[in-house]
Structure 1
Amino acid sequence: MKQKRHEKILTIIKEKPITTQEELVSELNKVGFKVTQATVSRDIKELKLVKVQSDSAYHYAASIPRAARGYIIPKYSAIIRETIVNMDNVNNLVVVHCHSGMANAAAEAIDVSEMPSVVGTIAGDNTFLVVLRTEEDSITFMEELRNIVNS
């Protein structure tokens, strides 16, 4: 039932601008889903819906799916570009050396990008470790970092 409701929510917000949770409750009730505002609130959180502006109003929209993002979020590229000194990989691990005190910021830039190939990061003062799913992922990841650093 929950999966079907989630699918319907995504369909509804794609078809018409929904500006409030109450509107979404009303639309769901019209199509046979008896829900409360609290249920819709949880659904919005689980679906990671965001409010976007169009014309003069904000409405709900689906965020970019995690699996669709395979890159560092552009606003964090400057952190990567300014902090990384060098890097190396071993199997599915990438060791990244940064200017002193900057490893946490650079690792956070990678973490918030939610790249599917990145399992996680561990940061010290001037070095951080990126754990990737495969060795191929580590090579691709390093290429992306190099492109950002050299841009």
Structure 2
Amino acid sequence: MKVARHEKIIELIHQYDIDTQEELASRLNEAGFKVTQATVSRDIRALKLTKVAGKDGKSRYAIINNESGSLGEKYTRVLEDTLLSIDVGQNIIVIKTVSGMAMGVAAALDALKWPEILGCIAGDDTIMCAAKTADMALGAAEKLRSFVRLNK
């Protein structure tokens, strides 16, 4: 039950700009999970959720799931310098890079250990990342775009 609830939390924070534990608890209850604010608080700690600024300037919960809490400088640089496009089809994220850089970008993505990404396969200039669900693929692609400020 906890794993399913955690997956639903990840889905919800990718789908909505949730900024309070009460709002998250309400959305979980609407989805059929009977939770209290205390349960949500424990889930937030377990998932290592953090608050980030949303598009409207209001804070919201997000997953930044690596040890330092953010992308390392070298990974950010690799991603910013080499990414050309990010597209999503169902639960697959297709990332285009400059020629010869796909393996480096895939290694950077793998190092992030985002729970929504199952794994990446890299060629010369294209990466295919499999996400757990279509919604998680959309969320991961958006999160990646926000990190590298890729304007699509």
Q: Which amino acid aligns with 1:117?
A: E
User: In structure 2, do the counterparts of structure 1 residues 66 and 120 end up closer, same or farther at CA, with 3 Å as the change threshold?
Assistant: farther
Query: What's the CA shift for 1:112?
Result: 1.0
> Percent same amino acid among aligned pairs?
28
2:65 paired residue number: 70
CA contact under 8 A between 1:83 and 1:98: conserved in structure 2? yes
Partner of 1:47: none
In the superposition, relative to structure 1, how do residues 103 and 140 fare at CA in structure 2: closer, same or farther (>3 Å)?
A: same
Q: How high is the TM-score relative to the length of structure 2?
A: 0.52
Q: Which runs of 5+ in 1 are unaligned?
A: 1-64
Instruction: Give 1:67 deviation, angstroms.
Output: 4.8
Aligned to 2:32: none
Distance 1:124 1:136, change over 3 A: same
Aligned length: 87
Match of 1:115 in 2: 114
Long gaps (5+) in structure 2: 1-44, 49-63
CA-based RMSD of the aligned residues comes to: 2.2
Q: Following the alignment from structure 2 to structure 1, what is the Cα–Cα distance between the partners of residues 108 and 119?
A: 12
The one-character-per-residue Cα deviations of 1:82-116 (angstroms, maximum 9, x if unpaired) are 11101211111000000000000000001011111
* Partner secondary structure for residue 96 of structure 1: strand
TM norm structure 1: 0.52
Q: Distance in 2 between matches of 1:85 and 1:92?
A: 20
**The residue matched to 1:86 in structure 2 has which SS?**
strand
Q: Secondary structure at the match of 2:78?
A: helix
Describe the SS at the equivalent of 1:131. strand
2:141 counterpart residue number? 142
